[in-house]
Structure 1
Amino acid sequence: MKQLSISRKLLTKVLTIYILLTVIVTAVQVVSEYYITKSHIEDELKTLQKTFSGSLTRAIWELNVQQSVTIAQGLLAMPSIEGIILRDENGQVISKLGDAITLEDLDINYDKDSVLINKNPQGLFGYIYPLIFEFSGRPIQVGDVTLISSRDIIIERIKIPLFLLMFKAVFITLSLFLIIWVTFRKLLSRPLYELTEQIEDFDIERLSKSKINLQQAEHNELSVLEDAYNGLIDRLIEYNEELETAHNRLIEANSKLDDQNLMLEQEVARKTANLSRVMLDLEEQKKELEGSRNELRQGIETRKRAEQALLTKQKELEASLNELKSAQGQLVESEKMASLGGLVAGIAHDVNTPIGVSVTASSYLTEQVKLLNRHFEDKTLTPKHLQKFLNDANESIALITSNLKRASDLVASFKQIAVDQASEAIRDIELNYYVHDIIKSLNPQLKKTQHQINVSCPDKLDMRCPAGAISQIFTNLIMNSVIHGFERIKQGRIDIKIEDLGDEIKIDYQDNGKGVTQEVLNKLFDPFFTTKREKGGSGLGTHITYNLVRQTLNGTISASSELGKGLHYTITIPKVTEMQAFA
């Protein structure tokens, strides 16, 4: 049977891994057996030392060298002892027995209770035991004895177990090899060979007899391959049948095509005769078309002149559109400046009142100082005059101080709002404080009314933005509510709710004015759209607000309203206005 490479490679890899693991496990067992046997020998040396230490100690104590040597020779006869070194209390060697330790180049070092032996091919190792003699109840060390064993003794003891271990490993390996080889041959190699032989017998002319049959009792991957291959043969048989049917149809179609060709030739002859007649008619029509072409050329020239006139008119319209856009921009700036002018006028009116009171109090104080000075020069100054002057002076100074402080507060609150509206610089603001400053700057227009403005804003809500845009937005919204929303309403209410959304700020502006229709709401943000044009309205307030929110602050704004239910704005703007967005 032909050997298949896949089964051979698989068998080789499995056996290689098993043999490698067997070698490693066997090596571990050999080393373990070696050290276990060495431990047993060490225990034997300790046992022998305990057995003979008494007699050796007495012999050395009595200076009976011959007896100590005899005892040492008896110990040397033990199978686990390779050599013995007997020393007195001064470390002088009394006896050194054993062929392994009589070599001149042997280097023996004593270290506590163990003996280090260097430069020995036998793998010697040993232990030193002190010889203690009790004299008058007091222990005295009279010397020591060193028992030495070797690696050869360990190997001699484990030789038979090692042989059995190696035999077991080889036997198991060969048995496993035979079992795996037979299994691979039965389950893989032979079925693959049969599959290969049957596939090689494939005949395109005898598809039904080219199917394979592996005759396996169990269902496995080869059975799946067999079913897939036989399914492919079945599909090929169906395709051949369909191909045969198509071939027959093609023959019939060719026959019909020949008949159609004959009929077509006859039809072509007939059409050719008709075509000749048509060509004559076409010649006449050609002459008529040439006449029509001349007329059409004249019409094209007329159209070109009209197009040139249209282009000239288009350029004029573009110039007019540019002028219109420029005028629109100027109107927007004019609206901003008009709002700023109204703010300044209100500031001047509110500041004039405390300053006028301060001037009056200052003039009165000046007259009192002159009167006091006159009494002093005429030497008619009395304590009553001085007391009256001090009372009047204190009252005047307190009046001047309070009114000047009021004027200073008004100027301070109005100054930043006015500067912001005239500037487009980005700066940091605290929104809650800034909105109240804006409302305070509108007091000159609001104090003549009974309208109420409620602001709900978190404390310490910081923004970095063009503050003038914020001022202009709230100014336009509030004034639109006052002028348009609260028309014929004495006590209107404006609710401003500001929420912190993390990176964005949401502003809900709601008034309870008269509201607008859906038609007006659809045009609310269109430029120049106003319901008060006959009363001087410009129609730019909401348009400016829309542009400030969408373009300057890069936010969103929407409005909703119903007649009689006021107007509601929803504005969302980022906390930090990017420079490129503002630009």
Structure 2
Amino acid sequence: MDQTNDTAETLTPQTVRHSILWRVIFYFATASIALSIVVSAALVVWNYEQQTEAFRERLEDIRVGYSESLGSSLWFYDEIQIQSQVKGIMNLEAISYVRVTDNLNINIEVGTRPHHSDIETLPIEFNGKPIGVLEIAFDRDAVIAKASRAAISTMIAQLVSLLLLASMLGVVVHTLINRRISEMAAQVNDRLSSNQYSPLAISTGKDKDEIDLLIQAFNALSEQMIDQLEQKTQAQQQLKTINLELEDRVKERTHNLQKTVDELNQTLAELHATQGKLIEAEKLSSLGGMVAGIAHEINTPLGLCITIHSYINDNYQVMKRAFDGGGMRKQDFVDFMGMMDESLGILDKNLQRAAHLIKSFKQVSEDQTGEHIRRFSLHDYLHEIMETLSPKFKQTQHKVEIDCSENLWMETFAGSISQVVTNLVMNSLVHAFEHTKEGLIRIQAAEEKGNIVIRYTDNGCGLSAEAKHKIFEPFYTTKRGQGGTGLGMHLVYNIVHQRLKGEIQVEEADQGAAFRMVIPKITEESNVQ
């Protein structure tokens, strides 16, 4: 309402600063004066040109009319006649200076001598011979003054005519435009102040000019606004009813949505718990497979040790009976000692093998089940991991090549490194080398800017486009229904990113699969969540 009143106030006739009528008169008068000045200046120039042309014609008349008589007077030295002729020339219009000289001593001059550029020179001849010079100057100031007076008179007459025309134009503009626009503004202000939109009560003329069209357009707009206001009022009432219904629906759906959200949160928590259990089960499954392989691998040297022990015991009993009966010969003792040396060597070799396997398994299993940071040689640790996985390669011709400096060390979760490498190797054995008898796995490690870069490659069947995109997603496997859980590579991704604070990505390879891991050389305890 305040805004409407302000608008109405700015449209009242009393607040009009520049009336159209006065602006039309002002612009018309300004244009008229400028036009008059331009026309007057053009007239001055035109009159001056006309007078100059007339002077040229007079010069020709003087040359024709006075040349012969002046020549005769000069020839006979008749100064009185020459002066009379000079005065006659001076009496001509716009002549300000005349001078007659001969080649001897006659010099008759009338008027003030101007600048030499304003003097016209005519030769005086007698019987075809030049005997003197006639000099005539044009009175330019007099010509300009005369032209100016004529232009001023013309300009005054034009201004009077134009002012009368401007007054008549003002009356016409006021009658046809200002009065009707002021009446329109007054009625519009009345409607704005009363907040009404009824049509204007102004009758239109028969001529149907622009003002009449404006009045008709405003009345049409008023009728349209009234219709829109009625529709708006109805729409507001309907909207109010719909809002009340929507509030009830929103409350009901909000309640249902909150219930659904609570159920989803509970399901998500159960899913996370299940996923954690599956990941732990994957770890235990990997460790269990390692235990079974190591147990089988240790059984071989231990079985040989038992066999050798039994063989030594049998030979020992034979030697003891021979010694007790007094029938032992020197050669029998030498043969027994040779057998003992060979048997003890076999025992030592197999016991060392079993001890080494147990030591490697103990270290790796402790690292995988423990959660502590320790410093270790990456070269030695990679070989220990391969030692624990050696049973997996016994029945195949697959090989593993490790390219790592013996001086390269890390201070991090060794068990996490073991778990990552183990899962990558098992992934290659199960998937990459499924249809390959002689596969090659290469593990390359080097230090780069405080990080350890490990590149794992195999020359197996490689990864499909879908596998490259989804290999780290949980439960993604190409062995669905064949024992694959799809958690192995997801576990690798989580260990590298969350536990080791590193990165792992799939790289393009000409053959097989390739993975690149960047892991901090030293893991800070404070950075571990």
- In the superposition, the TM-score normalised over structure 2's length comes to 0.58
1:322 paired to 2:243: no
User: What SS class does the counterpart of residue 535 from structure 1 fall into?
Assistant: coil
- 2:526 and 2:373 map into 1 onto residues whose CA distance is 12
Change in 2 beyond 3 A, CA 1:299/1:506: closer
Per chain length, whose mean CA-contact separation is higher, i.e. which structure has more relative contact order (CA < 8 Å, sep 6+)?
Answer: 2
The answer for the alignment partner of 2:18 in structure 1 is 254
Deviations 1:386-422 (A, max 9, x none): 3333233222222211111111122122221121111
Does the aligned pair in 2 maintain the 1:515–1:561 contact within 8 Å?
A: no
Change in 2 beyond 3 A, CA 1:485/1:254: same
- 1:508 and 1:343 map into 2 onto residues whose CA distance is 23
The answer for the alignment partner of 2:302 in structure 1 is 355
User: What SS class does the counterpart of residue 453 from structure 1 fall into?
Assistant: strand
Q: CA deviation at 1:368?
A: 2.1
Q: CA deviation at 1:286?
A: 5.6
Change in 2 beyond 3 A, CA 1:311/1:378: same
- 1:436 and 1:335 map into 2 onto residues whose CA distance is 23
Q: 1:504 is matched with which residue: 451, 459, 469? A: 451
Change in 2 beyond 3 A, CA 1:270/1:293: closer
Does the aligned pair in 2 maintain the 1:420–1:467 contact within 8 Å?
A: yes
- 1:487 and 1:570 map into 2 onto residues whose CA distance is 23
- 2:230 and 2:425 map into 1 onto residues whose CA distance is 83
Deviations 1:109-151 (A, max 9, x none): xxxxxxxxxxxxxxxxxxxxxxxxxxxxxxxxxxxxxxxxxxx
- 1:477 and 1:284 map into 2 onto residues whose CA distance is 72
Q: 1:446 is matched with which residue: 386, 389, 393? A: 393
Q: Which AA in structure 2 matches 1:568?
A: A
1:423 paired to 2:370: yes
Change in 2 beyond 3 A, CA 1:581/1:265: same
1:274 paired to 2:197: yes
Does the aligned pair in 1 maintain the 2:302–2:354 contact within 8 Å?
A: yes
Q: Which AA in structure 2 matches 1:567?
A: A
- 2:16 and 2:227 map into 1 onto residues whose CA distance is 42
Deviates more, 1:259-268 or 1:380-389: 259-268
What aligned pairs does 1:86-101 form with structure 2 within 5 A after superposition? none
Q: Which AA in structure 2 matches 1:566?
A: G
- 2:231 and 2:436 map into 1 onto residues whose CA distance is 87
Q: 2:329 is matched with which residue: 367, 370, 382? A: 382
1:574 paired to 2:520: yes
- 1:410 and 1:442 map into 2 onto residues whose CA distance is 10
Does the aligned pair in 2 maintain the 1:458–1:500 contact within 8 Å?
A: no
Change in 2 beyond 3 A, CA 1:359/1:284: closer
The answer for the alignment partner of 1:110 in structure 2 is none
The answer for the alignment partner of 2:36 in structure 1 is none
Q: 1:341 is matched with which residue: 285, 288, 291? A: 288
The answer for the alignment partner of 1:528 in structure 2 is 475
Q: CA deviation at 1:345?
A: 0.9
Q: CA deviation at 1:336?
A: 0.8
Q: Which AA in structure 2 matches 1:481?
A: S
Does the aligned pair in 2 maintain the 1:515–1:566 contact within 8 Å?
A: yes
User: What SS class does the counterpart of residue 573 from structure 1 fall into?
Assistant: strand
- 2:410 and 2:341 map into 1 onto residues whose CA distance is 45
Deviations 1:44-73 (A, max 9, x none): xxxxxxxxxxxxxxxxxxxxxxxxxxxxxx
1:306 paired to 2:253: yes
- 2:434 and 2:231 map into 1 onto residues whose CA distance is 82
Deviations 1:329-370 (A, max 9, x none): 111111011111111111111111001100111112122222
Deviates more, 1:414-423 or 1:425-434: 414-423
Deviations 1:232-267 (A, max 9, x none): xxxxxxxxxxxxxxxxxxx99633499676642232
Does the aligned pair in 1 maintain the 2:408–2:446 contact within 8 Å?
A: no
The answer for the alignment partner of 1:436 in structure 2 is 383
Deviates more, 1:338-347 or 1:412-421: 412-421
What aligned pairs does 1:394-433 form with structure 2 within 5 A after superposition? 394-433=341-380
Change in 2 beyond 3 A, CA 1:416/1:288: closer
Q: Number of residue pairs matched?
A: 332
User: What SS class does the counterpart of residue 254 from structure 1 fall into?
Assistant: coil
The answer for the alignment partner of 2:165 in structure 1 is none
The answer for the alignment partner of 2:408 in structure 1 is 461
User: What SS class does the counterpart of residue 370 from structure 1 fall into?
Assistant: helix
1:492 paired to 2:439: yes
- 2:515 and 2:290 map into 1 onto residues whose CA distance is 23
- 1:463 and 1:257 map into 2 onto residues whose CA distance is 95
Q: CA deviation at 1:287?
A: 7.8
User: What SS class does the counterpart of residue 322 from structure 2 fall into?
Assistant: helix
Change in 2 beyond 3 A, CA 1:267/1:487: same
The answer for the alignment partner of 2:430 in structure 1 is 483
Q: Show structure 2 runs of 5+ residues with no match.
A: 1-14, 23-177, 200-222
- 1:298 and 1:540 map into 2 onto residues whose CA distance is 50
- 2:232 and 2:457 map into 1 onto residues whose CA distance is 78
- 2:493 and 2:460 map into 1 onto residues whose CA distance is 20
User: What SS class does the counterpart of residue 534 from structure 1 fall into?
Assistant: coil
Change in 2 beyond 3 A, CA 1:302/1:392: same
Does the aligned pair in 2 maintain the 1:518–1:561 contact within 8 Å?
A: no
Q: CA deviation at 1:455?
A: 1.7
Does the aligned pair in 2 maintain the 1:521–1:561 contact within 8 Å?
A: no
- 1:439 and 1:281 map into 2 onto residues whose CA distance is 85
User: What SS class does the counterpart of residue 527 from structure 1 fall into?
Assistant: coil
Q: Identity rate of aligned residues, in percent?
A: 37
- In the superposition, the TM-score normalised over structure 1's length comes to 0.52
Q: Which AA in structure 1 matches 2:447?
A: D
Aligned-CA RMSD value: 3.0
Change in 2 beyond 3 A, CA 1:461/1:380: same
Q: 2:185 is matched with which residue: 235, 239, 264? A: 264
The answer for the alignment partner of 1:540 in structure 2 is 487
Does the aligned pair in 2 maintain the 1:551–1:581 contact within 8 Å?
A: no
Does the aligned pair in 2 maintain the 1:516–1:561 contact within 8 Å?
A: no
1:565 paired to 2:511: yes
- 1:280 and 1:494 map into 2 onto residues whose CA distance is 83
Q: CA deviation at 1:318?
A: 0.6
The answer for the alignment partner of 2:71 in structure 1 is none
Change in 2 beyond 3 A, CA 1:292/1:393: closer
- 1:412 and 1:282 map into 2 onto residues whose CA distance is 92
1:514 paired to 2:461: yes
